[in-house]
């Protein structure tokens, strides 16, 4: 019985990842699964780990966020077994993406990171916005302290659209 339940959780994660054309974060998958009370956090992390080990999903860590994508093998597996996912669960997933697609895409397509530049003693921030794997903006700023670098990255996450629109209006 437990194995059937884990298999269902794996299929739900594969179904979620198949419904979007961009990577979603582990936290985004977790938010959905926990909000719907399909499973608990530890079981979900086991499921994601097993899917990754089986190469049915790929996992990439970007600034403390794990981005998940379905692989070709994952799509093929889902194609064979998606009939095991209850229609109501599929509808929950589809509704979730319909209602949250813009927010989810924005969370993974806007990145801000920083590193310490030892030769200059400053921190370099790297701010990006991508859409469908196409970079729309790629900005590097040097700042004197780590606190400032963190603030720049946090502000980029909150104000990227305004900043991008300002740049476009000034440059075009």
Are 15 and 93 contacting, i.e. CB atoms less than 8 angstroms apart? yes
Strand ranges, E, within 16-64: 24-25, 57-62
Tell me if 122 sits within 8 A of 152, measured CB to CB: no
Is it the case that residue 115 has pLDDT exceeding 80?
Answer: no
107: confidence class by pLDDT, cuts 50, 70, 90: low
| pLDDT band at residue 162 under the 50/70/90 scheme | confident
**Residue 77's pLDDT band (cuts 50, 70, 90):** very high
Q: What is the mean pLDDT of residues 99-121?
A: 72
Instruction: Compute the mean pLDDT over every residue in the chain, rounded to the nearest whole number.
Output: 86
Bridge partners, residue 58, by sequence: 69
Q: State how far the alpha carbon of 123 is from the alpha carbons of 57, 59, 63, 155, in Å.
A: 34, 27, 15, 16
Q: Is the pLDDT of residue 1 over 60?
A: no
Task: Tell me the pLDDT band of 63, cut-offs 50, 70 and 90.
Answer: low
The confidence score (pLDDT) of residue 133 equals 64
Q: What angle is formed at CA 88 by the lines to CA 87 and CA 91, rounded to 5 degrees?
A: 90
The pLDDT of residue 70 is 95
Helix, strand, coil share (%) of the chain residues, nearest 5: 60, 25, 15
- Domain architecture of the chain: domains with CATH: 2-108 (1.10.10.10), 109-171 (no CATH)
| pLDDT tens-digit readout, 6-44 | 999 999 999 999 998 878 889 889 989 999 999 999 999
């Amino acid at each position: 019985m437990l194995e059937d339940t884990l298999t269902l959780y794996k299929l739900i994660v594969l179904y979620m990842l198949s419904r979007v054309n961009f990577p979603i974060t582990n936290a985004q998958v977790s938010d959905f699964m926990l909000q719907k009370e399909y499973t608990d956090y530890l079981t979900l992390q086991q499921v994601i780990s097993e899917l990754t080990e089986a190469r049915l999903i790929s996992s990439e860590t970007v600034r403390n966020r794990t981005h998940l994508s379905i692989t070709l093998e994952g799509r093929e597996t889902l194609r064979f077994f998606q009939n095991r996912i209850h229609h109501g669960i599929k509808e929950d997933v589809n509704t979730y993406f319909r209602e949250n697609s813009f927010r989810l895409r924005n969370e993974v397509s806007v990145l801000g990171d920083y590193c310490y530049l030892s030769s200059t003693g400053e921190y370099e921030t790297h701010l990006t916005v991508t859409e469908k794997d196409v970079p729309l903006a790629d900005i590097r700023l040097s700042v004197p302290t780590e606190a400032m670098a963190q603030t720049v990255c946090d502000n980029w996450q909150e104000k990227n659209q305004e900043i991008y629109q300002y740049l476009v209006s000034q440059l075009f």
